[in-house]
Amino acid sequence: MSVYTNVSGPELARFLQDYDLGKALALTGISAGVENSNYFLDTDQGRFILTLFERLPADKIPYFLDLTDWLSSQGIPCPRPMHTCSGRSLNTLCGKPAAIVQCLQGQSIEGRAATLMEIRALGALLAKMHKAGEEFPQRHPNPAGFAWMETTARHLVPHLDPQDNWIIADELAYQSQIHRETLPGGVIHADLFPDNVLFTGEQISGTIDFYYAGDDAWLYDLAVVANSWCALPDGKLDPALSPALWEAYVAARPLRVDEAPLWFAMLRVAALRFWLLRLDAVHFRRPGAITFCKDPEEYRRILLQRRQGL
């Protein structure tokens, strides 16, 4: 259960006085999720999500709330923040930064493969999200870019076996020659895994967890999605899902001529990013936070396949 901060009835009532959202009827902790304390908040005006930020410092949070506010205004199904009566989306509850956002309908497909319809909907939505972010005025370079990967790899060296250290160093050497900053880009979600997409039927009703978002190559974001939605158990790309994702994406955002040749480079760097993230979580557990670690081996396998063009 990852609710790290318990909110009492009187604290919640005081907090809600800043909003025009009615009276609290129920507050129910959400067990999924590992970073923040999330609650379903039912008021006499409907259901919302209350998040207490456990990791991000308060000054880093407005970017994410402003971004989802913007994308939502552009028709992207993502959690629109609620504003206080004085117009703020970020507030404080129990001494932690806190926000109330729209509760989106739908269920994730986690645990099973996507259907072709679902993957096409995802490709089209990702392209729409990229285009919707073009006019977003705030800049926020992807914090998990090449420099993050180099630093993380260096910290991991004493914890990994020589073969894994060699693969990582070799991949970093290859990636140092790929200049994805020259590719078309802008706002990317950067973590649009199956647990962060909600479906109602085969339509996407929500995208959540924008806390890794930033500016980077759009093709890299598509690669994050391809690795996380279209990998077979052995790590290879699914021969039906992967082309369906690609076709739906390029139909909505035709690629520039220099993008397609870098597809495998992007799949490789996206695989490396999540292998490193998971290794980091396993070897440097943050006290009290991560309650379970996702399997790094899955992304090692994916990286090895992509390095072979599979």
Ligand X SMILES: N[C@@H](CCOP(=O)(O)O)C(=O)O
Ligand Y SMILES: Nc1ncnc2c1ncn2[C@@H]1O[C@H](COP(=O)(O)OP(=O)(O)O)[C@@H](O)[C@H]1O
Q: Which does 104 bind (CB under 5 to 8 A by kind): ligand Y, ligand X, none?
A: ligand Y
Determine the Cα–Cα distance for residues 226 and 193; give it in Å rounded to an integer. 9
Q: Which one of residues 109, 122, 277, 302 is an interface residue with ligand X (CB under 6 A)? A: 277
Answer yes or no whether residue 49 interacts with ligand Y by CB under 6 A: yes
Q: How far is the CB of 254 from ligand X (least distance, A)?
A: 28
- The residue number whose beta carbon is nearest to ligand X equals 193
Q: How far is the CB of 212 from ligand Y (least distance, A)?
A: 10
Answer yes or no whether residue 35 interacts with ligand X by CB under 6 A: yes
Taking the least distance from each CB to ligand Y, the nearer of 74 and 102 is: 102
Q: What is the DSSP string of 6-33?
A: ---HHHHHHHHTTSSS--EEEEEE--S-
Collapsed DSSP state (helix, strand, coil) of residue 308: coil
DSSP tag of 81: B
Determine the Cα–Cα distance for residues 181 and 146; give it in Å rounded to an integer. 11
Per-residue x/- marks for ligand Y, 197-236, CB under 6 A?
Answer: ---------x-xx-x-------------------------
Residue type, 37: S
Q: Which does 244 bind (CB under 5 to 8 A by kind): ligand X, ligand Y, none?
A: none
Site for ligand Y in 28-47 (CB under 6 A): 30, 32-36, 38
Determine the Cα–Cα distance for residues 225 and 248; give it in Å rounded to an integer. 13
Q: How far is the CB of 280 from ligand Y (least distance, A)?
A: 16
Per-residue x/- marks for ligand X, 245-274, CB under 6 A?
Answer: -----------------------------x
Q: How far is the CB of 261 from ligand X (least distance, A)?
A: 27
- Residues 6 or more apart whose Cβ sits within 8 Å of residue 55: 35, 36, 286, 289
Taking the least distance from each CB to ligand X, the nearer of 118 and 209 is: 209
In order of 73, 75, 133, the CA distances from 70 in angstroms are 5, 9, 8
Answer yes or no whether residue 71 interacts with ligand Y by CB under 6 A: no
In order of 34, 59, 97, 130, 274, the CA distances from 62 in angstroms are 20, 7, 10, 20, 25
